[in-house]
Structure 1
Amino acid sequence: MTDSDELTEASTTRRRNRLLAIGPLWLGAITSILLFLFGIQLLGAATEAASPTIARIHDQIVVGGGSALGISWLVTYGLTSGSVVAALAVSLLSSGIVSTSGAFMMIVGSRIGAGAIVVLIGGLDYAQEGQIRSMRESMSLGLLTFLIALTVYVPTAIVGIVVLATFRSELFEATRGLDLPLGALEFFGPAVDAVTRAIGPRSALVVAIASLFAGLWLFDTVLERVDTETVRRHVFRHFGHVWTAFVVGLVITAVTTSVAFSLGVVVPLYNREFVKREEITPYVLGANVGTLLDTLAVAFVLETPAGVAVVLLVMGIATALTALLLVAYDPYVSAIHAVQNRLLTDRRFFVGFLLVLVVVPVTLVVLPHL
């Protein structure tokens, strides 16, 4: 065998090994996307079929925008997924069960609840004696992420309600005609109809939510196999520039539709103090906006113009507010870090903060009924 033949064989072997390595990743990614799309289609069909029951329950619990925000915040705790709750909100809007303002507040509530989950779970250990220092170290990024989400989405809720009350018709007119060529998804139709008829709307709703969870979980599993060192090297060198770090965080989260991945990439850098809080904050701000892309995809798949308008409104306001925070970056970072430091060093203050994360959404739901 000549040297040329040996080189050719070695090259062929490398290509074969590369295909064997990435083949399962592509298969997993495609399967996760199909599961997610099927879940969305089934969610829309099941919600519409079960709309009388869902509407009756909804009307008994949700009274106004505040309670819509509170209930989605609490449901996010229960499902441990803001993306699934936001998808439910869009589906309920598509079926006419909730109003545009109600769906808007539910999407915002899902984002606040998603940020609070990390804090609540970590807080169970943090509040125990003897665990304070270790949990302080491990929860630092989680607290920072939640505080950033809070400073973005609470003002977003306030501004959004004003916009919907004042410029509702202009908003719908501006987003009229926005759609995607999703005719290929019609092949899900027979399967969706068959599942809904076979097990009934309520059970189909459970299967739909399970499919969404399965799709998101499988995609996260695929992302865990990605070589994050390469991503990390490229991400790290941009953290010195506020706006660039913001765009990187937005793009990575939007492309992967996974906050777990986009933040997971930088966790080792943050924990080892290779990047400072001042440098990672704009990246997290970008991830906060990018995480809404999968909700926008749900609105397009369900072909609901009102849903597209509402999600774009949330994204637009959140992006505009984030831009303002980046312009006033130094005082913003100082305020965020002052609160974070207090939470990480004062046990009683932190326990009180945890109680607030439960009391506030419960109050928003209960208060209108008193």
Structure 2
Amino acid sequence: MRLLVTILLFLFAIRLLGATTDALAPFLQRNLRRVVVGDAPALGASWFASYVLANGSIVAALSLSLFSSHLIVPSQLFLMIIGSRLGAAAIVIFIGTFDYLNEELDSLRESVSMGLLAFLLTHSIYLPVLVVGYLSMPLVQTTVPVERTPPATGASPPDVFSALTGGLIDVLGAGVAFIVAILCIFLSMRLFDRILKSLDKQRLRRRYLSRLQNKWASFFLGLVITGLTTSVAFSLGVIVPLYNRGHVKRNEIIPYILGANIGTLVDTLIIAVALDTPVGVQTVVLLLSIGLLVTLLTLVLYPLYTPFIDAMQNEIVGTKTYFIGFLLTLLVVPLLLIVLG
């Protein structure tokens, strides 16, 4: 019952977000033109917004909602979803740094170890995906029309949601309803995480621990568990304690995280379907497909890939000066994309 209520709340929040974005289209368009004046600013804006909201999935949902209201073009949608992943990957590093500054952890290397590893893995995949996918976007635009087809009439669940969202916007106003939509998405994700916490993680660990020794099995587990639960927090929560206690080796957890990085796009695909945006669905599918191909290539070249990641991580945390410079680039790069664009 809790799961059903959470799913319905999530779908309602997505539909409310789409409806309020439509209602606020003139206001959003005026303000978006000041920030998103091209493709590079779209990437930077979503990247930085992930920091502000501390959640990449929310930014991806907002991007799809803006696209469904025809406020951004397909190429900007693609880059904004990419930006949401790049930004989300850096949040854990900031959290680890705060723990170190608050003296909750003794060493900088310990405080940012897992966050930095996930960041490097994410960026090593999504930066090539950004280039290849961006060049491939004209194929999506020509194969699927940008205009959305009007929803069919009849007593279907989307019509019920439309009636509820319309009534709420009339009562609260579009601006307040927009905030309510964001809060409902946050709430539904928190409720879903609480449901997942009730699952027996120990049983999952015992069942799949031996399979992590195979890189392909490890990758598949990360992909499937994250895709089915739509929660990276859960999928990493299953395996990270084992890694921290030395039960899982670094070479065994890397393919798992790579799989989780692809599986995390499943919730974005669900949002695109819920918003009834054919081009949005095609864009997410394109991103998923290229991301999967790039990840499979890294697994094929695994003996070369892992030393590269290790060298990058050791270089970044080698001295505090390098690490501070690294943190500054995480803040400066998205802002430069916005300003210079």
For Structure 1 versus Structure 2, the TM-score category normalised by the shorter chain is over 0.9
Amino acid corresponding to residue 146 of structure 1 in structure 2: F
Residue equivalent to 2:28: 54
Amino acid corresponding to residue 113 of structure 2 in structure 1: S
Amino acid corresponding to residue 76 of structure 2 in structure 1: G
Distance in 1 (alpha carbons) for counterparts of 2:143 and 2:110: 44
Distance in 2 (alpha carbons) for counterparts of 1:49 and 1:151: 38
2:80 equivalent among 87, 106, 111? 106
Deviations 1:78-137 (A, max 9, x none): 111111110111111111000000010000000011110111121233357x66644522
Residue equivalent to 1:45: 19
Distance in 2 (alpha carbons) for counterparts of 1:356 and 1:223: 35
Shift of residue 171 of structure 1? 4.5
Shift of residue 233 of structure 1? 1.4
Q: Is the 8 A contact 2:226 2:232 kept in 1?
A: yes
Structure 2: which 5+ runs fail to align?
none
1:95 equivalent among 37, 62, 69? 69
1:66 equivalent among 34, 40, 50? 40
The number of aligned residues is 335
Q: The residue matched to 1:161 in structure 2 has which SS?
A: helix
Q: The residue matched to 1:303 in structure 2 has which SS?
A: coil
Q: Is the 8 A contact 2:140 2:282 kept in 1?
A: no
Deviations 1:290-340 (A, max 9, x none): 000011001111111011011111111111111111111111111001111
Return the TM-score normalized by structure 2.
0.93
Q: Is the 8 A contact 1:44 1:95 kept in 2?
A: yes
Return the TM-score normalized by structure 1.
0.86
Amino acid corresponding to residue 267 of structure 2 in structure 1: D
Amino acid corresponding to residue 112 of structure 1 in structure 2: L
Residue equivalent to 2:140: 168
Question: Residues 224-303 of structure 1 correspond to what in structure 2 (within 5 A)?
Answer: 224-303=197-276
Question: Residues 1-370 of structure 1 correspond to what in structure 2 (within 5 A)?
Answer: 27-126=1-100, 133-165=106-138, 167-169=139-141, 171-172=143-144, 183-368=156-341
Shift of residue 149 of structure 1? 0.5
Q: The residue matched to 2:85 in structure 1 has which SS?
A: helix
Shift of residue 221 of structure 1? 1.3
Deviations 1:335-362 (A, max 9, x none): 0011112333422211111111001001
Deviations 1:39-84 (A, max 9, x none): 0010110001111111111111112211101000111111111111
With over 3 angstroms needed to count, the CA separation of the structure-2 counterparts of 1:288 and 1:114, relative to structure 1, is: same
Q: The residue matched to 1:238 in structure 2 has which SS?
A: helix
Q: Is the 8 A contact 2:15 2:275 kept in 1?
A: yes
Distance in 2 (alpha carbons) for counterparts of 1:310 and 1:169: 9
Q: Is the 8 A contact 1:289 1:315 kept in 2?
A: yes
Amino acid corresponding to residue 87 of structure 2 in structure 1: G
Distance in 1 (alpha carbons) for counterparts of 2:24 and 2:66: 10
Q: Is the 8 A contact 1:94 1:306 kept in 2?
A: no
Distance in 2 (alpha carbons) for counterparts of 1:50 and 1:93: 13
Distance in 1 (alpha carbons) for counterparts of 2:219 and 2:236: 13
The worse-fitting range, judged by mean Cα deviation, of 216-225 and 95-104 is 216-225
Amino acid corresponding to residue 165 of structure 2 in structure 1: V
The worse-fitting range, judged by mean Cα deviation, of 339-348 and 275-284 is 339-348
Q: Is the 8 A contact 2:141 2:279 kept in 1?
A: no
With over 3 angstroms needed to count, the CA separation of the structure-2 counterparts of 1:171 and 1:235, relative to structure 1, is: farther
Quote the RMSD (CA, aligned, Å). 2.0
Structure index of larger Rg: 1
